[in-house]
Amino acid sequence: MRNFKLPSKKEINFILASFSKKEWRLFAVLAILLVLSTVLILENINRHFMVTVPLRGGSISEGVVGVPRFINPVLANSEADLNMTTLIYSGLMRKIKDGALIPDLASKYEMSSNGLVYTFTLKDNLFFQDGKPVTADDILFTINKVKDGIIASPQKVNWDGVNVEKINEKTINFTLKQPYASFLENTTLGIMPAHLWENSPMELNGANTNPIGSGPYMISKVSKQPSGIIDSYTLSPFKKFILGEPYIKNITLRFYQNEDDLVKALVDKKVDEISSIRPIDAENLKEKNYQIESAVLPRVFGLFFNQNVNQLFTDKTIISAINQAIDKDRIVRDVLLGYGTTIDSPIPPTMMEYRKLNAKTDISRENLLQKVQDDLSKAGWKKNTDGFLEKTTTQNKKKTPVLLEFSISTGNVPELAKTAKLIKGNLTTLGMKVEIKTFEKGNLNQSVIRPRKYDVLLFGQIINHESDLFAFWHSTQRKDPGLNVAMYTNVKVDKILEDAFVTIDEKERIKKYGQFEEEIVKDMPAIFLFSPNFIYTASKNIKNFKISNVITPSDRYLNAYSWYIDTENVWRVFAK
């Protein structure tokens, strides 16, 4: 067999010169097809092996109402403080966007069989943003400051009864007096560098406005007014952040006095995003083609009845009539402009695993109201000459007319005032005489809620996690400073809440909270109205930014280290 030999240049030229015009046209077509098919094949191969990956770079600016004063995990309470704290500090554990917990500063944790002792081990190579190492001493310092009654930390209630012990530089023990199902949530608390805080009073320390943490972002620039008030912070990635260097090069938080200024800043393109906005502002911005996103908050708004002040509320016929008469859908539609959801339970819709949703009735509203009126009539309530419901009762052998009247106390927030007005309209239709009393927030708390001076309270409960239900519904919490504003007492519910509080097994805990819900719905100490949405504008440039489980507005920054703006295509083998 002869060896294969490529044709010489002279031979190729001779062959080409011998082509007829028809053969040349055919050759040209075949050559073009060969080139195109080769390009397509290479493109498909390239596409198959290429992936889009985040690229470091880009910047965003966000508007926030308020001015930060205490950018530290112990004292942070305002939205401005909490936003900054979430970006700058890391905890032993970190909550991610779906609500799950992952190790952050901790490499692992172990829980004792009785659920009383948690042992955390720190990761290697942990550093604060000033280059100093993170040690068990910093964890001990931070939590002891939270527990210090003189400092009055908003986090103190989460750590009461927890003993903290340093085992060595990388190991720390937490010992609880009783099992606490939500304890791991507490360990998301940001850890502070003891060397910056231990030698001066916490409230006066300069690190409150120049904080150092171990979180994903660190302060690179501060802008202040001549008076010293902070206008903005520019944050840059902390390269030694233990979960990986963030992608976005700069995040700037600009601070505004009120929501009107906040919205104006967005429209004037001074900021890229804003959040915690009112429904009316959201609708106006939507008309201007801004991308509006929202997520339901773990807030339970309702009417809480005080039987100690008004004996009418011992009558379940009245409570049931009020519940059926209130047009909850209209409240969500007209007050919240659709940014909320109706509820019938003390457990917020964000905790769906605990809720047994009641099936909606198909009865028309007209027929429903007729049924309610019939029920009240059967119970002896008739309209008087003024059109209000009245019932004749016998007291001391004397017949006395009793008017179905009460007041609703609430805050002077526009949404609450409008909700109260709608409820009054619904109940007036039935013949109930309702007075609305609105109070400034501080006065409502001090003069109405704390002394329990109200017939009905239109109020919202914040359920950060299921264990908070104890504070709102256990009988021991009826008196100030307890939060049981319905003045509710039920021995069975007390036992359920006590057991659920210490039940570590999730399935058993869900079962108990289901039993709790059944008892509350049966006893009707309150009428549950709606859970509002957290509303924000979403920048179309930011990728991997989606909120699905928001407890506080600052939760939107929990995965800020994984946000990105720029991307590039690389071969799959080179992608991390």
> Splitting the chain (576 residues) into consecutive groups of 10 residues, what average pLDDT does each group show?
63 68 75 79 66 86 95 95 97 86 96 94 97 97 95 91 94 94 93 94 94 98 93 97 96 96 96 94 94 91 96 94 96 97 92 61 82 93 94 78 95 95 96 97 93 96 89 94 94 96 90 94 96 90 78 88 83 57
Give the per-residue pLDDT at 23: 73
Does residue 220 share a domain with residue 83? yes
How far apart, in whole angstroms, are the C-alpha atoms of residue 36 and residue 514?
65
Does residue 177 share a domain with residue 319? no
CB-neighbour burial class of residue 335 (10 A; exposed 0-12, middle 13-18, buried 19+): buried
Q: Report residue 39 CA to chain centroid gap.
A: 50
The secondary structure element, H or E, covering residue 392 is: strand 389-395
Does residue 347 share a domain with residue 463? yes
**Within-domain flag for 37:** no
Give the per-residue pLDDT at 299: 93
Does residue 370 share a domain with residue 448? yes
Q: Report residue 323 CA to chain centroid gap.
A: 28
Does residue 253 share a domain with residue 332? no
Cα distances (Å, whole numbers) of residue 184 to 101, 311, 347: 8, 43, 20
Contact status, residue 90 vs residue 242, Cβ threshold 8 Å: yes
153: left (phi over 0), alpha (psi -120 to 50) or beta: beta
Q: Which two tokens stand for residue 566?
A: 């720029």
Does residue 247 share a domain with residue 320? no
What pTM was computed for the model? 0.85
**Within-domain flag for 485:** yes
> Which amino acid does the sequence have at 65?
V
**Within-domain flag for 180:** yes
Cβ neighbours around 368 below 10 Å, total: 14
Does residue 336 share a domain with residue 209? no
| Number of domains observed in the structure of the chain | 2
Does residue 89 share a domain with residue 211? yes
**Within-domain flag for 542:** no
Give the per-residue pLDDT at 329: 96
Does residue 250 share a domain with residue 359? no
Tell me the three state secondary structure of residue 35. helix
**Within-domain flag for 365:** yes
How far apart, in whole angstroms, are the C-alpha atoms of residue 362 and residue 376?
21
Does residue 93 share a domain with residue 162? yes
Give the per-residue pLDDT at 570: 64
How far apart, in whole angstroms, are the C-alpha atoms of residue 501 and residue 466?
8
Domain extent for 123: 59-257
Give the per-residue pLDDT at 11: 66
Contact status, residue 201 vs residue 76, Cβ threshold 8 Å: no
Give the per-residue pLDDT at 222: 96
Does residue 306 share a domain with residue 232? no
CATH number at residue 214: 3.40.190.10
